[in-house]
Structure formats: structure tokens, C-alpha cells
Amino acid sequence: MKEISAALVRAQKEFGPALKTSTNPHFRNRYAALDACIEAVIDALNTNGIMLMQNTHPCEDGVIVETIFIHESGEQISGGKLHVPASKHDAQGYGSALTYARRYSLQAACGIAPEDDDGNHASKPAPQSQAAKAAPKPVAAKAPVAPKVIEGKPGAWQLKVSIEHSEPEQTFEEWVDLVRDAVALALEHAASESDVMAIFRNNKNIFDKVKESLPDYEAMLAMFTKAKKQFTQPPEEEA
């Protein structure tokens, strides 16, 4: 594995950020779509003699994607298998789950992350006064821990939030992003008010964990409220 390992090191130095070019219709936030993730790494991989493959494996309740790097020498490395459940067992449900799985499998295998569109990485702290430097620092609150695996109640609207071979230092914020994407995907397929409520009830244990970050929990509640209104509000009468 000597040649492919060296080639991957060279390629990773050339990877770009996964640009957030798409907008989630439920959260109104931007995210890096599959094409943006591929664009961030494909040129660097190919230039260093590496082909990118994403294989699928048999799965009854969703999709399993495995990202594989194949070097021109014949050596290859697998990024591991990622399982994503399908919210509905039809072409659209499996297609959405496949896109989602390919996106996160590629990000994990390449070690890339979406761009910082809030500008946090570019900001610098203001200079501190001598008094501020001398003041004791407040004790930081303990950050919530991202669970490795968490599942709702078994059934049509069960959510399973887990990533195989994920980086051990995955943050709670990154885990919440996974939950938001999974909920958005489920609500896309909700066909009635009862479906919306079932998604919330069947996965309450997941949302209770999200509640450790109150702003994220409130944003998720707003998403459910908006989804519910499209089935409860009467259509506007024509003038």
C-alpha cells in the first residue's frame, strides 16, 4: 500500500473546501451538495493517479455506500461502509438516501469539511486590555457529546443517525447537522399531517438529545411547524 498511501498524502494537500452551494428548503441554511464535494477532491485525486469509486452494497432498509480509492499501480484503499436508511421504500426515497450517503461517505473518506460560510475562521479576537488579561477566565461549560449511534422507534419513520468509520473527534454540532439533514429528508416525503407528527413522535429520543443545544432544537421545531402548516392551512381563495 506504499504507492497509494503516498499518492493520497499528495492529493490531500491539494483538496479544496466543499463549497456550500445548495439550500435546504426546510432550514433555509446552505450546505455542500454531492457535486460540490466531488469537485473539491476529484482533480487532486486524478492528478496523483487515483480513481474515486463509490460502490453500493445490498441493504433491505436503505442504502450502503463504500468509498474506494484505486491507484494506477493497482493498490486500493476503502473508506469503509456507510449505511443510510430510506425514509420511504420507493425510487425517490432510495435515491435521496443514496445521494446523502455518497456525500457523507466521501467527506469522511477524504477528511474534508464544508466551507466556513459564517467567516469564523477568518475572524480574529480583539486585543485584550491588561485588566481583561488579569481577570480569571470563566470555566467553560462542558460541551455536549455526539452519540455514535442513536435510533428512533422501529417503523416507517424511524431515523437512524450513525456513521461507520467516522472520525472519533466528531463534534456535537456535526452530529446535529446529520440529524437536521435526516429530518429534512423525512419531511420531504411526508404526505400528511399525521406523517409529520409520526416523524416527531417516533424519533423523540433523538430530538431530546438535540435539545442539549436549545437553538438547534428550536430551529428543528420550527421546521416541523412549517411542514405541518402545509397540510393544515386551507388554500388561498382566488380573487
Tens of pLDDT, residue by residue over 116-147, are: 443 333 334 545 555 555 656 666 556 677 78
What global pTM score does this model have?
Answer: 0.47
Cα–Cα nearest to 187, from 217, 214, 225 = 225
Domain of 61 in residue numbering reads as 1-116
- Domain termination residue (choose one: 73, 100, 116): 116
| Contact call for residues 210 and 176 (beta carbons, < 8 A) | yes
- Domain termination residue (choose one: 116, 135, 153): 116
pLDDT of residue 131: 55
11 pLDDT more than 70: yes
Radius of gyration, CA atoms only, the chain:
21
Report how far residue 23's alpha carbon sits from residue 116's, in angstroms, rounded to the nearest whole number: 15
User: Any idea which residue has 492528478 for its cell?
Assistant: 47
Q: Express each pLDDT in 213-236 by its tens digit.
A: 888 888 888 888 888 888 887 665
Domain presence at residue 130: no
Q: How many CB atoms lie within 10 A of CB 15?
A: 16
Domain presence at residue 137: no
pLDDT of residue 144: 75
Domain presence at residue 124: no
Q: Express each pLDDT in 13-48 by its tens digit.
A: 888 765 555 444 444 445 567 788 888 889 999 999
pLDDT of residue 49: 94
Report how far residue 172's alpha carbon sits from residue 162's, in angstroms, rounded to the nearest whole number: 13
> In this structure, what C-alpha cell is assigned to residue 87?
425514509
> How many residues in the chain?
239
Q: Are 28 and 89 in the same domain?
A: yes
Domain count, the chain: 2
Domain presence at residue 158: yes
